[in-house]
Amino acid sequence: MKLRILGCSGGIGGALHTTSFLLDEDILIDAGTGVGNLSLEEMCRIDRIFLTHSHLDHIASIALLVDSVGYLKKAPITVYAIEETIDALKRHIFNSVIWPDFTTIPSAESPYLRYETIRLGETLDLGGRRITTLPANHTVPAVGYWLDSGKGSLVFSGDTTTNDALWEQVNRIDNLKYLIIETAFSNSEYEIAVLSKHLCPSLLGEELAKFRGKGPVYITHLKPGELGLIMAEVAQYAGQLKPEMLLNDQVFEF
């Protein structure tokens, strides 16, 4: 399995794009503004989108992606998400007010978009690529993802704050090669981090103390304008793990 980072920022500006990862050539993990880095040909190859949650920075490109390539594809793009996330998409995005309901276009029998509900802890096996939902603790119902090729695994926390249930699962993964975890705010914004259920470096340090793996660990979802500050504080609190900042176009093979 190969994961390419299309976007991993907590905002936009210049080369910064919000969360979206391309798994192999046909699966998106979240669909933030980073999808715009793909060519039309690359977008046409996407068959499935796995969402962590319903916040705009993680779903922003779904509407325009479907609009751009839906008519070029032989089968609909399938969005996999927990029930609450799918309900949010139906009510607030694809509602024929904000954007057309592409589950009925060009017809209900042959749409450009379809939904598939997944449950916490469920594993989907897509040709030997195992994708499992993991617990997340956020302001809206959310999940993370465990991607397992059989030879190696990568875990993406999604948006989350302190989360014992996540580490109970992660610490059981024998073939874990990479951990990607969010840290959205600097320590000076501790109260905002707690209120919005994100991590800051001091909270990250507490979470990584629960991690029994050896890394490598990559930090995602940093707020624009605070990249250097957040990573400097991460270095102070993360102990011997020495996390690195996740970067656009970074590729992980496992």
Q: What is the mean pLDDT of residues 211-226?
A: 95
What range does the domain containing 179 cover? 2-253
Q: What is the mean pLDDT of residues 37-49?
A: 97
Please tell me the predicted confidence (pLDDT) of residue 102: 98
Q: What is the mean pLDDT of residues 86-103?
A: 98
pLDDT tens, position by position, 100-143 = 999 999 999 999 999 999 999 999 999 999 999 999 999 999 99
Please tell me the predicted confidence (pLDDT) of residue 165: 98
Tell whether the model's pLDDT for residue 239 goes beyond 90. no
Please tell me the predicted confidence (pLDDT) of residue 215: 79
Q: What is the mean pLDDT of residues 208-222?
A: 95
Q: What is the mean pLDDT of residues 199-227?
A: 96
Tell whether the model's pLDDT for residue 214 goes beyond 90. no
| pTM of the model as a whole | 0.97
Phi, psi values for residue 99, rounded to 5°: -155, 155
Long-range own/partner contacts, residues 20-28 (CB < 8 A, 24 or more apart): 20/58, 20/61, 21/156, 22/46, 23/129, 23/147, 24/129, 27/126, 27/129, 27/131
**Cα dist. 2→25, 27, 79, 146, 244 in Å?**
9, 10, 20, 13, 19
Domain total of the chain: 1
Q: How many CA atoms lie within 13 A of 159 on its CB side?
A: 32
Tokens describing residue 242: 């020495």
Specify the CATH number for the domain of residue 35: 3.60.15.10
Please tell me the predicted confidence (pLDDT) of residue 90: 98
Please tell me the predicted confidence (pLDDT) of residue 144: 98
Question: Are β-strands 113-117 and 77-81 bridged in parallel, bridged antiparallel, or unpaired?
Answer: parallel
Q: pLDDT higher for 239 or 154?
A: 154
CA 159 to chain CA mean position, Å: 8
Residues with Cβ within 8 Å of residue 66, at least 6 apart in sequence:
77, 102, 112, 113
Q: What is the mean pLDDT of residues 62-85?
A: 98
Burial 20-54 (b: 16+ CB within 10 A, else e): bbbbeeebbbbbbbbbbbbeeeebeebbbbbbbbb
Please tell me the predicted confidence (pLDDT) of residue 65: 98
